[in-house]
Amino acid sequence: MVRSLGRGLAWGAFALVGLVATLVLVVPLVIGAERYTIVGGSMEPAIPLGSLVVVQPRELNDIRVGDVITYQLESGEATVATHRVVGEGVVGDGERVLVTQGDANDSADIEPVRAPQVRGVLLYSIPLLGWMNVLISGELRMWVVPVISGALLLYAAWMFVSAWRNRLRRVSDGVPEEQPERVPQTQD
């Protein structure tokens, strides 16, 4: 019973790690999305501090009021913010701009968002995982991700091989396979 529970927990953890890896690495790569870490509390409680957000590029004309977007605070600069679109407007030359506001903020952002600033629209967020993204960045990420992935694959292989070996040992010792308990059926 304890062994079965341990196996179930191990497989559950393995499945959880696989799901997180898919959401963080595979999905953004396949759809051309970008990942960012939320380091401020302006979008709480919808997007808590430390969340990892996955943002898909989208044209300004395809963004609507209510969408959560990530945009550059200044065009061409690396610093970004993730806020909700609360309005739209037009500036002097007829250019469409977006008015944004953090859910936890009392008022809209001072500067409107122009098309070149928009990085994309929020697809999904994963709470707390952003801190891991901050901790494991740059050169550290280049060796940590393959090492952890390799270790998980080795662990999965070890689990398969040990289960296969135990099964072979039971068969060679003449121990029958465990059969599910049959419940007697009655006729009415």
Output Rg (C-alpha) for the chain, integer angstroms: 25
pTM recorded for the entire structure:
0.66
d(CA 84, CA 101): 5
Q: What is the model's pLDDT at position 168?
A: 83
Asked if 38 and 50 count as a contact pair (C-beta separation under 8 A), the reply is yes
Nearest CA to 130 among 58, 14, 41? 41
Q: What is the pLDDT of residue 76?
A: 87
DSSP H stretches of helix in the chain: 2-21, 27-31, 129-135, 139-172
Residue 176 pLDDT class (50, 70, 90 cuts):
low
Q: How would residue 153 be classed by pLDDT, with cut points 50, 70 and 90?
A: confident
- Which pLDDT belongs to residue 16? 81
